[in-house]
A and B are shown apart, each in its own frame.
Chain A
Amino acid sequence: EDQVTQSPEALRLQEGESSSLNCSYTVSGLRGLFWYRQDPGKGPEFLFTLYSAGEEKEKERLKATLTKKESFLHITAPKPEDSATYLCAVQSGTSYGKLTFGQGTILTVHP
């Protein structure tokens, strides 16, 4: 059974204070690891797909990296508008695209 664990559960940062979110996973043949952003009461918004260990993707202040056991979402000089829940999900090679999600990390950035 695929499993995803995210840490920390919640993270409070000051504006400009860089940090990282962790996503540990176990999956039978990783087909893809996905990062999403979710605002309260909204649907997950796609951020990144990572396919293999060593891969990195960047978008504005966010950078996602992948190893064989975990992924990190690095946030550089965050702004209050980066406040959201960040979700990690995996797709195994045996599924038809089913995503298994972690609990998420609630990020709050104070001005």
Chain B
Amino acid sequence: GNSVTQMEGPVTLSEEAFLTINCTYTATGYPSLFWYVQYPGEGLQLLLKATKADDKGSNKGFEATYRKETTSFHLEKGSVQVSDSAVYFCALTSTNSGYSTLTFGKGTMLLVSP
């Protein structure tokens, strides 16, 4: 079956530090990969996505590259802000399911201090 593994949190950084959140996956077929973000008290918002190998998704300074050879989709940002504090979820859908059925990782909390 499909699964997503994320690094455990919380990740604690100072403002302007470099961020990496690791994500690896196991899937049948050719999954599309996503990063969602959840701010306190809110639902999830799509941050970025990549639909095929070597695609790079980017949004709001965040980037992730779909690496098929290492089955990874690590999230990076060059300079984090306090407002980036949230829980980040890596997720996938696969061609076998065909519909909007996402398999999520357990989430990584990011805490950014001034």
Please say whether chains A and B are actual partners in one complex.
no
Chain A interface residues (CB < 8 Å from chain B): none
Interface, chain B (partner A; CB < 8 A): none
